[in-house]
Amino acid sequence: MINDLTISPLCEDKEISTFVCTDYDLNDFIHNDAFQDMQKGYSVTHLVKRNGFTVGFFTLVTDSIEAKLIDKGEFPDYLYGKLPAMKIARLATHKEFERQHIGKFMVNEAFIRAYELTQHIGCCVITVDAKIDAIGFYEKYAFFRTKKKSHSDTVTMYLNLVQFIKNNFE
């Protein structure tokens, strides 16, 4: 099932007209903001399709994270206040295609893009502001909660990209 998925950057609003997930905010983003945000250079949204039908999307942005929010043992020699990062800003699966490993596919694609990014610029962390019900999903991929107290419906999480690359790409 994963073998028949394709990925392409969002090019036009009409590509996502049939997309519906179970989260109102993610639906609102993909239908009203994603294309404009790409045109302005704020983010890049990737569509995941099966037979031409959009079954998921993920949005990536650059980010930074305060070093003090991460376990000190992760980057012991880092001298600056913020670590360079790539953020999985949005990730959603069409409600009719949930539990078919599309989310896993999208996270793996984000990891590949993060690895490619490290070949051109400094980036040592992947971040995500996980919705409460998605924390377990990200923990399966070695994301950890930061030391930051959450005062919203999301929890900031991170993955040590340097260690991930050593374990998976070398």
The residues near 96 (Cβ < 8 Å, ≥ 6 apart) are: none
Model pLDDT for residues 103-161, shown as the tens digit of each residue: 999 999 999 999 999 999 999 999 999 999 999 999 999 999 998 766 678 999 999 99
Q: pTM, whole model, 2 decimals?
A: 0.93
Q: Which domain holds residue 6?
A: 2-168
Looking at residue 145, the DSSP 8-state letter turns out to be E
Place of tokens 């998605």: 134
What digits encode the pLDDT tens for the residues 12-59? 766 788 999 999 999 999 999 999 999 999 999 999 999 989 999 999
pLDDT at 105: 96
Taking CA 81 as the corner, what is the angle to CA 78 and CA 86, rounded to the nearest 5 degrees?
A: 80
What CATH code is carried by the domain that includes residue 62?
3.40.630.30
- Residue whose tokens read 């929010």: 69
Structural domains counted in the chain: 1
Q: Is 47 exposed, middle or buried (0-12, 13-18, 19+ CB in 10 A)?
A: buried
Q: What is the pLDDT of residue 168?
A: 83
